[in-house]
């Protein structure tokens, strides 16, 4: 197989992964209309709840608009508006009077805060006949922003920005977010006490598909505590990097002066139903299936990717080169790694992973694609990168040192120069990252 064929096949696998996690398609697998009833199905496909009456749709995240459109279409005349918050940028409309608002991601802004106030008001305004359907996906933690009493938006922005450039994973980051918020960690359930109930449809972007981590769990019980949030900050940030107001808020929480987030067994949760409609494994399985149809022997990495991006890239490269050489091989993986960014470095976790793999695979006849399913990798214009055995040589020819760029976490400029960035724009979905590594017959 030529390098061009391998690259084309990798792109086709990535496209298949994105198609499999189309938010509208995933919602339609779990929500249906049966006569005058709206019916919710669980992961086993069996009905777990029914509702007859009005519906208000609220939500936040990169896939929230597509999910809300699907809910509105299924609910039909029962849908009585609502609001979803999505990232700034070109947006479309939503039927049934559902407002589409925007906010900043990954660091929240005033627009997101104002939109969240309107969202909470819509939930509080739902009466005993009205069901709240919450559609939540990756990105929801930043877009659904309501600082806890005593904290300001600036406090949340500061601690979020600093944790994002640390080596804290998403679960750790969201532990802090939940304990600095009035809406996360079950807070939305507290706002819905007058409603008929809440059905939460979640599109997972986190390893393990934990509903308490997805969008920081606004509709579910939170197993973490104020003490856990303090431990996260102690582990990942210096004291001077944490606003004093946040430190004081968390200390008061540990002392019991501030109520904890909603905990398992809380009666508020009795009228809540939560269903994960899809996640990273759907994308991985679709990429693997497409690779198999193109003649590759497929090796799916069962454990979700996590930990340092560069280490993960090197490990995947080693696994691919060690595979039997009696035919074409496809190595498919998914998850979310981390990067501890060096000051001045430009890139994202997928670009860092891909560059590390490119260094390890220099001269080999193979390719590796690593990309975020949301179309965004870190604070860049790329979803990730598609590298091959010639990436390092192309960089060297342009006077660039791949190993040095890797150490500086400065992958983006180098991969732009080598023509290996994958730019597809926002996809309207978000289930973490997918890696497709292909090797032809040897």
Beta strand pairing status for 297-300 and 329-335?
A: parallel
Provide, rounded to the nearest whole percent, the portion of the chain with pLDDT above 90: 92
Q: Do 3-14+281-439 and 23-146+181-224+261-278 share a fold?
A: no
- Interval 7-28: pLDDT, tens: 999 999 999 999 999 999 999 9
CB 405 within 8 Å of CB 50: no
**Domain ranges (residues) in the chain:** 3-14+281-439, 23-146+181-224+261-278
- Interval 318-337: pLDDT, tens: 999 999 988 999 999 999 99
pTM for the predicted model, two decimal places: 0.91
Beta-ladder partners of 277: none
- Could you tell me the sign of the dihedral formed by the alpha carbons of 230, 169, 417, 427, in that order? negative
Q: Is 74 helix (H, G, I), strand (E, B) or coil?
A: helix
**pLDDT of 1 higher than 90:** no
Neighbouring C-beta atoms of residue 48, cutoff 10 Å? 15
CB 392 within 8 Å of CB 402: yes
- Whether domain 3-14+281-439 has CATH 3.40.1480.10: the reply is yes
CATH class of 23-146+181-224+261-278: alpha beta
- Interval 136-151: pLDDT, tens: 999 999 999 999 999 9
Q: So what's the pLDDT on residue 208?
A: 87
Query: In what side-by-side order are the strands of the sheet with 366-372?
Result: 297-300, 329-335, 433-439, 366-372, 384-388, 421-422
């Amino acid at each position: 197989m030529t390098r061009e064929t391998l690259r084309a096949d990798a792109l086709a696998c990535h496209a298949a992964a994105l198609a499999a996690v189309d938010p509208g398609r995933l919602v339609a697998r779990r929500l249906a209309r049966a006569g005058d009833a709206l019916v919710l199905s669980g992961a086993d496909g069996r009905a777990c709840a029914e509702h007859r009456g009005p519906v208000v749709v609220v939500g936040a995240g990169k896939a929230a608009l597509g999910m809300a459109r699907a809910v509105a279409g299924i609910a039909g005349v029962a849908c009585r508006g609502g609001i979803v918050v999505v990232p700034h940028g070109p947006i479309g409309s939503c039927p049934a009077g559902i407002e589409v608002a925007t906010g900043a991601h990954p660091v929240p802004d005033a627009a997101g805060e104002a939109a969240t106030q309107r969202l909470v008001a819509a939930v509080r305004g739902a009466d005993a006949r009205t069901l709240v359907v919450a559609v939540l996906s990756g990105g929801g933690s930043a877009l659904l922003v309501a600082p806890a009493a005593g904290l300001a938006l600036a406090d949340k922005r500061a601690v979020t920005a600093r944790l994002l450039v640390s080596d804290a994973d998403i679960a750790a980051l969201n532990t802090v977010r939940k304990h600095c918020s009035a809406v996360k960690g079950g807070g939305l359930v507290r706002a819905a006490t007058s409603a008929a109930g809440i059905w939460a449809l979640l599109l997972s972007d986190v390893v393990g598909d934990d509903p308490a981590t997805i969008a920081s769990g606004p509709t579910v019980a939170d197993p973490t505590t104020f003490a856990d949030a303090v431990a996260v900050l102690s582990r990942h940030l210096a004291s001077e990097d944490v606003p004093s107001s946040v430190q004081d808020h968390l200390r008061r929480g540990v002392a019991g002066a501030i109520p904890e987030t909603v905990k398992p067994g809380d009666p508020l949760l009795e009228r809540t139903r939560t269903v994960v409609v899809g996640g990273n494994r759907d994308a991985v399985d679709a990429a693997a299936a497409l690779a198999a149809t193109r003649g590759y022997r497929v090796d799916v990495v069962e454990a979700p990717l996590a930990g340092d991006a560069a280490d993960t890239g090197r490990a995947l490269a080693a696994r691919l080169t060690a595979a039997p050489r009696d035919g074409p091989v496809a190595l498919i993986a998914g998850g979310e790694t981390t990067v501890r960014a060096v000051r001045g470095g430009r890139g994202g976790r997928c670009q860092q992973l891909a560059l590390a793999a490119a260094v390890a695979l220099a001269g080999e006849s193979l390719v590796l694609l690593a990309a975020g399913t949301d179309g965004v990798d870190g604070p860049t214009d790329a979803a990730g990168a598609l590298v091959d055995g010639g990436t390092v040589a192309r960089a060297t020819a342009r006077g660039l040192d791949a190993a040095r760029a890797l150490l500086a976490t400065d992958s983006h400029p180098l991969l732009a120069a080598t023509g290996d960035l994958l730019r597809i724009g926002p996809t309207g979905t978000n289930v973490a990252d997918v890696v497709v590594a292909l090797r032809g017959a040897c």
